[in-house]
Amino acid sequence: MNAVPPTPVPPLSLRPAVAADAEALVRSMPKEAADVLVAARFTPPRHAAINLLGRIEPAASREILERLAADAHPDLAAFARARLQAAAR
């Protein structure tokens, strides 16, 4: 059988339209965005969250970063704490 390999889906960081929509959501609905991001347990969603939040200045995502620092997967929580510490300097 000649199976056609699946087309790889680029990560969030490579899809500008999706990243722009996600960034707008983070800015306009931080509580709802934090609810979604805090639930990220697997590597691809965690990396997508880090890529997304890395594009936004910490002051604009402070509410989300504080929530992630307290409640997220250890990798995401460490990223959030680092962003908050860097913003405090």
Enumerate the domain spans of the chain. Answer: 13-88
Please give the pLDDT value at position 12: 47
Long-range (24+ apart) CB contacts under 8 A made by 1-4 are none
Residue ranges in the chain whose pLDDT is less than 50: 12-14
Please give the pLDDT value at position 76: 95
What is the rounded CA–CA span in Å between residue 71 and residue 36?
12
Identify the DSSP state of 7.
Answer: P
Number of alpha helices (DSSP H) and beta strands (DSSP E) in the chain: 5, 0
Looking at the whole model, is its pTM more than 0.85? no
Please give the pLDDT value at position 21: 87
